Amino acid sequence: MFVPPSYHPESPGWARRVVTAFPLALLITQGEHGPFATHLPVIPAEESGLEHGTGPCGLVGVKLLGHMNRANPHWAALAAGGPGILVFTGPDAYISPPVYQARDVAPTWNFVAVHVHGTPEPLGTAEETLRVVEATVTAYEREHGTGWDMTDELHYFSRIVGGAGAFSFQVTAAEGMFKLSQDKPRPVRTAIADVLAAGSERTRQVADTMRDLGVAGPPPDAPGGAARSDAPRPVRSADPPAARTTAPDTDPTGGQP
């Protein structure tokens, strides 16, 4: 992914935040007759953890776990091996020129995205897949759900897990794109965040991100400036980007009856 210098993450926590808060990723791999792309849930493997990642995005060396429906042709294609990309899409919003209060301006779209590179490795047993499903539910209930206890439903998970296939993904490279109007002066960025904060839930997520990362508002080291936070907010991701893809695989059990 091409990332202009202004939009690189300033801290590894920026990219880690996206992976945690917006975990519905797009897995892209090359098939025999063309690319495959599938939306699916992804979590960090417990033994690696995001805090152990390296590089500017803090994700190199991290092991991620995902799963999809075995009926998806993409699953069979993973057996052939080969590299892949996981795309995590953060908040985004359209920026209309009047907010700049200046001439010689153009509209744009602010957005956040993180791409991680590696090779998906299918896990071979139903037991391994079930562990991934259970870990995914635990992580998502903690960060995005109601804290639901799956204990009484594990027997049901065990019955249907054969329809799901899990994989590991060792991150070998990562890029983060945080296009949040950094090419504009801070007062303009702050005005943009104020306008977005008064809009929809979708635009408020962008405003929150700009402020949390210190891109908008008083500089963190200025009197009255808020301390910058790289910690993920427990928000639900926006709709995934439009693409020609297979059906989303978001059901933690692989979408099997």
| pLDDT at res. 219 | 77
φ, ψ at 113 (rounded to 5°): -150, 145
The CA-to-CA distance between both ends of the chain, in Å, stands at: 38
Q: Which of 226, 215, 211 is nearest to 183 (CA)?
A: 215
For 165, how many CA atoms within 13 A lie in the half-sphere containing its CB?
Answer: 15
Q: Give me the pLDDT at residue 194, please.
A: 97
- In this prediction, residue 143 carries a pLDDT of 92
Please tell me the pTM assigned to this model. Answer: 0.85
Torsion of CA 137, 138, 140, 143, to 10 degrees: 170
pLDDT, tens digit only, all 257 positions of the chain: 999 999 999 999 999 999 999 999 999 999 999 999 999 999 999 766 899 999 999 999 999 999 999 999 999 999 999 999 999 999 999 999 999 988 889 999 999 999 999 999 999 899 999 999 999 999 999 999 999 999 999 999 999 999 999 999 999 999 999 999 999 999 999 999 999 999 999 999 999 999 999 999 987 665 555 555 554 444 433 333 333 333 334 444 444 32
